[in-house]
Amino acid sequence: MKFPTKVGKSTPEKIYIHGYDLTEDLIGEITLADMAFLGAKHRKPTKNESKMLNALLVSVSEHGFTPSSVSTRLTYLGAPESAQSAVAAGLLGAGTVYLGAMEYVAEMLQEAFKKYGENEDIRVIAKKVLEERVEAGLQFPGFGHPMHKPEDPRTSKLFDIADELGFKGKNSALILEIHKQFCERKGKDITLNVAGAIGAIFSDMEFDYRHVKSLAVASRAVGLVAHVVEEMEYGRKDSIGQKLYNFIEENVDYKK
């Protein structure tokens, strides 16, 4: 039985990834983020695509104590022989609130253009998107942040880079217009968070929205390695995971 794939194949002398010779064309020639691009697009990125993708992935690789990093530390506390389990535990919580929202932003934007057309006025599309989501009782992915108010510093930086590299297109324009109208509806400033920027820029780079979360998860996996390493450096007794566990044990009210 044959299993058809274009991802990779090996011979006794060579290894090929998406048609490229691993040792001659890829190792030492492209970055890890470029490999992610290759996996999604089946070609090596241009210089500008590489710079933009690296910026996007770096922006979400680390964000301090979040559910993913706490899960990683606590899992390492219970299974120090399995660092990969700790990283995997941290990735399992990638969803609508943390990390995964960028996929839903990209889906919202891409589906809006598919539904209303490329030539419709951006202001009209934004208004229709807002009205439809309000009527359906749907959340607005990419908006709000518990700490970064009224602006997420990563958002403006990524849009600046996208503008410089030629990736601030129609999707970025749409999310910015949705943000403007959303704030007007609420009567206050609502943060356009990094997930909103990333979903828009990935869409302007012509990534299918279904690929976006996978790329973000790969980036966060790199960031979680630092949390595992720090637990190793502290040692079990003084680790943050142990302190978290002790704190919970000391403060839980066990009701009879």
Question: What token pair was written down for 231?
Answer: 């637990």
Closest among 48, 40, 52, 33 to 7, alpha carbons compared = 40
Which residues are bridge partners to 16 per DSSP? 9, 21
**Whole-prediction pTM:** 0.92
Q: What does the pLDDT look like over 180-199, one tens digit per residue?
A: 999 999 999 999 999 999 99
Q: Hey, CA dihedral for 94, 96, 98, 100, is it positive or negative?
A: positive
In angstroms, rounded to a whole number, what is the distance separating the alpha carbons of residues 55 and 86? 25
Q: Dihedrals φ, ψ of 72, to 5°? A: -65, -45
Closest among 59, 62, 54 to 226, alpha carbons compared = 62
In angstroms, rounded to a whole number, what is the distance separating the alpha carbons of residues 34 and 56? 12
In angstroms, rounded to a whole number, what is the distance separating the alpha carbons of residues 14 and 92? 35
What residues of the chain score a pLDDT lower than 70?
256
Residue type, 181: Q
| Residue 64, pLDDT score | 87
Residue type, 170: K
Contact (CB, 8 A) for 212 and 110: no
Start-to-end CA span in the chain (Å): 60
In angstroms, rounded to a whole number, what is the distance separating the alpha carbons of residues 242 and 240? 5
Which residues are bridge partners to 8 per DSSP? 17
| Residue 4, pLDDT score | 87
Contact (CB, 8 A) for 18 and 38: yes
Residue type, 65: F
SS3 245: helix
Judge if the upstream peptide bond of residue 67 is cis by omega within 30 degrees of 0.
no
